[in-house]
Structure formats: structure tokens, C-alpha cells
Amino acid sequence: MVKRRAAAALLVFAALWPFAQRVLVARYGIDPWKLAGFAMYATPSLPVLVALFVPEDGRLALVDETALDPVLRAHLDRFRAERLALGRLREPEDLARAFLDARPTATGVVISVQRTDLDRATARMRSDNELFSYDRSMFAD
């Protein structure tokens, strides 16, 4: 009896998961290729572009990723991978904190997250860019 119930529960979960995963993709921008997604065969897998900027002389200067120390670079790469998989469920606050800890002279950081996906209404590729601005005072302990 227990095996039958477990099999039935697994079957119900497998039947309902595509709908739940579709809601997560639509609402939070998670990657359809992740989290056992069935939509992966109908959607291209595209990278998430992340860039760091620091305020300098009244403008934003792009941070050269090749100049980042290995620990911070690993943190940035991990954020990219997690943001790709989890979409807007993964916020960059800890990346900003790590960057500001590694750069004590920086007054703040702006993190640009750009994601390209398929617009289902027009069947064209569209790009969404989100900017996250963090000031050092936000992390004062």
C-alpha cells in the first residue's frame, strides 16, 4: 500500500511539475533548462551577462573583470551561474558586499544583469537589463 501511494504521489508530481516550472519561468525568470524543466527543448539556452560598474568622477566606470582577485572573480562567476538558473530569485546583494569588501576605496557598485530570452508574443529575441545599485553605507554594520 505504501509503495502504491508513493508511486501515485510521484506520478502526480511528475504530471504537475511542468506547470509549476512554467510559472517559475514566467514569473521569476528562472532558466527553463534548469530545475528539471520540460520547456528546455523549446527555448534556447542563453547566458546571463553581468557587469560591474563603480562611480568615478560623476560617471560609471566599467570594472575590468580580468583585474579582479581570484576569490572575487569566483564569486562573480558563481553569481552568474546561479542567476542563470534561478533568475530573479537570486539577488546580487552578496556580490555587491564582496566587491565592496575587496575594494575599500570604492564608494559603491552598480551591478548590471542582462538576460536575453524568447518573447513568446512576437517570437523574437528580447533583452532585459536590470541595474542594482549599492552604496557602501548600505552594508555598514
Full-model pTM: 0.76
Query: Could you tell me the end-to-end alpha-carbon distance of the chain, in angstroms, rounded to an integer?
Result: 56
The single residue listed with the C-alpha cell 513568446 is: 120
Q: How far is residue 70 from each of residues 2, 57, 76, 104, 107, measured CA to CA in Å?
A: 51, 27, 10, 17, 22
Across the chain, mean pLDDT equals: 87
pLDDT for position 124? 85
Model confidence at 141, pLDDT cuts 50, 70, 90, reads: low
Span 41-72, pLDDT tens digits:
666 777 889 999 999 888 999 999 999 999 99
For the chain, state the CA radius of gyration: 19
Span 19-29, pLDDT tens digits:
888 788 778 87
Q: Where are the alpha helices (DSSP H) in the chain?
A: 2-28, 70-86, 93-102
pLDDT for position 42? 65
Model confidence at 111, pLDDT cuts 50, 70, 90, reads: very high
Of the candidates 101, 134, 104, 112, the one whose C-alpha atom is nearest the C-alpha of residue 63 is: 112
pLDDT for position 39? 64
Instruction: Assign 50 to helix, strand or coil.
Output: strand
Q: How much is the average pLDDT of 74-90? A: 91
- Res 36 pLDDT > 80: no
